[in-house]
Structure 1
Amino acid sequence: MIPTLVSRRSALRTAGGGFGYLALAGMLGLQAKNARGSQEAPKVGPLAPKPQQIPAKAKRIIFVFMEGAMSGVDTFEYKAKLQESDGKPGLGGGKFVASKFQFAQHGQTGTWVSELYPNVAKHVDKLCFIRGLHTDTPAHPQAVMQLHTGAANATLVRPSMGAWLLYGLGTENQDLPGYVTVNPSPNFGGAVNYGSAFLPAHYQGTRIDDTGFLQNLKAQQVTSLQRKQIDLVQSMNRDLLAKPGAPDSLEGVISSYELAFKMQGKVPDLLDISNEPQHVQDAYGVKPGPAGSFARQCLIARRLSEAGVRFVQIRQGGWDHHNNLHKGLINNSAATDQPTAALLTDLEQRGLLEDTLVLFGSEFGRLPTAQGEDGRDHNITGYSMWLAGAGLKKGFSYGATDEYGIHAVEGRMHTMDLHATLLALMGLDHEMLTYNYAGRDFRLTDVAGSVVREIFA
């Protein structure tokens, strides 16, 4: 067969629309598959709300991430035996170091909390503590990535927990991103921790800083001119869409431009916490500069959740206390105690806590033995987190570590079990929530994970 010769001009003219589409799709990172044809019913977008797979009360998650591994035996894990054993030889080497902070029992449940968290302590009767957690690696990058994506191996990039939730449930507000991460760290995996990996890119997290700044949101042209520009691009893409062989995802791309246009008018106001009454800002402890960073994040998280964002993550770093433990704990708890307590109060007063999950914790814990003069090393064999909100038992503790706080000995719960449980609380079956890639079905929990129903209300 004689090959057909195509001129350079003809090739460019024929492929020009395709190049334009590729550039457009690349900028937006979308892979929405929609059917075409005037006889077919219009399909909803890929981020439209989807039904839960199993009955559940929770509609959204706020993950309050304490990056760097906060010390449980100095904050929420009172160990009388450790206090009695100060200076004695530790199990496996070193010496035990009692917490320098006073613990007291709070609420009707009599839950022990250290003096570092007096405001959060007022909420213990609505908290659900998970006290028997364990994970696989004592290195921060791998442990942080495993907590966020289920995979500890940096070469095996997986979708983040928020991306899986967005894939499984869609978002409640089609004018906003469904997944927002506030003040994410560039370290310990960086963007992998809020990425979508092999899931379509519209499931990845949208990054903003602790002042609510979102890059490339402000239009460079007046609204009327921008509308004309978008209309021109949209008309060309609709022309391409009408042609035989047009990319299936183009209709979703067209819709995304409309979403981006609408976001310009809504997102800036939503992220502007100066719109909040002064008494609300005061309750969170909002102030300018780095000292008010976490307070601003908590208030932004409430505003985003109230507006229908499915998954919001906020972050307080600086918990890696191999040294300067005493002063470091004082500084970090002072930055996080009031805002966290205010977030819980605000969500409850607005009726949001009944269908919102709040998760508070780190990638792992710290040992009860000394490291240097004033530090504690990593502990992956037994640590705690707490949850609050929808579908949970209130004032409840599940699992426990030993009398020193080293190993989880009751209700052991791996990171994969935590993921399976969170998905179930959100109405998703972790074994059914799969995505086929490279010839196999992937899931957040890979081939592991068990739902811990003992914490369900």
Structure 2
Amino acid sequence: MEKEIFDHGLNLNRRHFLSKLSLGLGSAALGSLLIPDLFTGNSLGKNDDLRKGLPHFAPKAKRVIYLFQNGAPSQLESFDFKPKLRDLWGQELPESIRQGQRLTGMTASQNSFPMVGSFCDFQQYGQARAWVSSLFPHTAKIVDDICIIKSMHTEAINHDPALTFFQTGAQQGNRPSMGSWLSYGLGSENNNLPAFTVLLSKGKGNGQGVYAKLWSNGFLPSAHQGVQFSNGEDPVLYLSDQEGMSKADRRKMLDNLAALNHHAYEKIGDPEIQAKVAQYELAYRMQTAVPEATDLSKEPDSVFEMYGEDSRKPGTFAANCLLARKLSESGVRFVQLYHQGWDQHGNLPNEMTVQAKDVDQASAALVKDLKQRGLLDETLVIWGGEFGRTNYSQGQLTQDNYGRDHHPRCFSIWMAGGGIKPGIVYGATDDLGYNITENPVHVHDFQATVLHQLGLDHERLTYRHLGRKFRLTDVSGRVIKDLLV
């Protein structure tokens, strides 16, 4: 017996719908746009009242730009000032503070844990009198536009699971990323561009790898996977037509391919066949839209000066921040930047100084640029890494050199725009910067809050897979309403 997928809201089943359409690629793509669940095999039940492209409630943000600092910046050299650590320089971390915390293999064999204060100077800025280190002078100037969260925490203690946890809600792979969930839940604002794009850059510090699983669609339909943009002549690889192929030839080829795929779908019933058809059609439209959306040549000199001299160099963090603004402005729902180089287990004073200079000006410029264009209120900007850094030195401690190991118990990130309260500092840690003392924010709380700002209830944005309903926040998470306007 043939399995029917039926949408009661439209009173239309899949077979009837397809029988009334031509076999052309445009018609198949139109079907996927009008009824996103038509080809997914994930029918809408009575408890799933989300219609793709329609939020659960009025959103505060339309899109997200996530500036992920891969490798974990030290909160003690950025936004969590602990002067007492300077007074206790070289003294042993009390066991009453450490409380038997799990350690990485890099420090588990240490016989001592000498505390180390920051080499940076700190000053207070803005109405909230937020402490910001001397490594981030440009961020210091926008503190009244951002919300600094000093009480983030996670269970993951190593890079890969911690990074994967932030992006997918699970420490293991094969789960949809946050961008994929937003693409699935809300669709794209611009049908000529992907809903989810990824940009990569490398700093000069010790880098950790990033992998395609971080922007994977997981078990969601493949149409929701992130599209990685490169810094070469072709921002999206294999998007251009081959030499000698005209647009008419390309159109005819895709129409014929769509007819063959439709025939295969009728025989096999695999929904991924239809997802591929939609992807081919999107790629065809992107041939015109992507070059326009990634063209920075028309930006005035004043904009490049605001983002910094590196913004003229493709593939740098600064250039990617400017490109992220362009893509977001063009309607890309989720723009993910990964900047590698924050893993300072040693030589922290030298490496982090260079690394912070890589990102500080451009990160602040992005917020200012969105604000002056009237886009910050509807664009949520996020800056932060996968965990924090220890208050004790890893390895040998000298007066001018030290390193910090991984610390999941407390760390800092900041958020701006998209209905997040500006000019506040949320959460607090103890005098030694080791444990949270006020308003803890778990990774799932962070994810629930991000979804909420885009009008999505994290408990209702689900997908049935392997006999159960999955969601980005797994079985926990709460919206941190104190952060919201």
Q: TM-score, normalised by structure 2?
A: 0.81
1:308 aligns with 2:311: no
Map 1:80-229 to 2 at 5 A.
Answer: 80-92=83-95, 93-154=112-173, 157-183=174-200, 190-210=211-231, 213-222=235-244, 225-229=246-250
Alignment counterpart, residue 372 of structure 2, candidates 349, 364, 372: 349
Say whether the 8 Å CA contact 2:128–2:425 is kept in structure 1. Answer: no
Deviation per CA, 1:237-279, whole angstroms, max 9, x where unpaired? 3477489936585666545433222211221232132332222
- Note closer, same or farther for the CA distance 1:305–1:195 as it changes in structure 2 (3 Å cut): same
Q: State how far apart, in whole Å, the 2-side matches of 1:74 and 1:404 are.
A: 13
- Secondary structure at 1:78's aligned position in 2? coil
Q: Which runs of 5+ in 1 are unaligned?
A: 1-31
Say whether the 8 Å CA contact 1:33–1:248 is kept in structure 2. Answer: no
Deviation per CA, 1:135-162, whole angstroms, max 9, x where unpaired? 11211111011111111134xx211111
- Note closer, same or farther for the CA distance 1:33–1:421 as it changes in structure 2 (3 Å cut): farther
Q: Please name the residue that 1:56 is paired with.
A: 59
Q: State how far apart, in whole Å, the 2-side matches of 1:424 and 1:254 are.
A: 31
Q: State how far apart, in whole Å, the 2-side matches of 1:433 and 1:97 are.
A: 44
Say whether the 8 Å CA contact 2:261–2:274 is kept in structure 1. Answer: no
Question: How many residue pairs are counted as aligned between the two chains?
Answer: 423
Q: State how far apart, in whole Å, the 1-side matches of 2:214 and 2:259 are.
A: 35
**Sequence identity percentage:** 39
Alignment counterpart, residue 389 of structure 1, candidates 417, 432, 455: 417
Q: Please name the residue that 1:26 is paired with.
A: none
Shift of 1:87: 2.5
- Note closer, same or farther for the CA distance 1:402–1:379 as it changes in structure 2 (3 Å cut): same
Deviation per CA, 1:358-381, whole angstroms, max 9, x where unpaired? 110000000111112310111100
- Secondary structure at 1:351's aligned position in 2? coil
- Note closer, same or farther for the CA distance 1:90–1:361 as it changes in structure 2 (3 Å cut): same
Q: TM-score, normalised by structure 1?
A: 0.86
Deviation per CA, 1:151-195, whole angstroms, max 9, x where unpaired? 1134xx211111011111111000001100101789656111110
Deviation per CA, 1:3-35, whole angstroms, max 9, x where unpaired? xxxxxxxxxxxxxxxxxxxxxxxxxxxxx9993
Say whether the 8 Å CA contact 2:84–2:431 is kept in structure 1. Answer: yes
Q: Please name the residue that 1:430 is paired with.
A: 458
Q: Which runs of 5+ in 2 are unaligned?
A: 1-13, 38-50, 96-111
Q: Please name the residue that 2:20 is paired with.
A: 38
- Note closer, same or farther for the CA distance 1:152–1:244 as it changes in structure 2 (3 Å cut): closer
- Note closer, same or farther for the CA distance 1:86–1:290 as it changes in structure 2 (3 Å cut): farther
- Note closer, same or farther for the CA distance 1:103–1:231 as it changes in structure 2 (3 Å cut): same
Q: Please name the residue that 1:23 is paired with.
A: none
Two-structure CA RMSD over aligned residues (Å) = 2.8
Q: State how far apart, in whole Å, the 2-side matches of 1:377 and 1:244 are.
A: 52
Q: State how far apart, in whole Å, the 1-side matches of 2:16 and 2:467 are.
A: 22
1:74 aligns with 2:93: no
Q: State how far apart, in whole Å, the 2-side matches of 1:202 and 1:39 are.
A: 21
Shift of 1:109: 1.9
Say whether the 8 Å CA contact 2:223–2:276 is kept in structure 1. Answer: no
Say whether the 8 Å CA contact 1:75–1:114 is kept in structure 2. Answer: yes
Q: Please name the residue that 1:404 is paired with.
A: 432
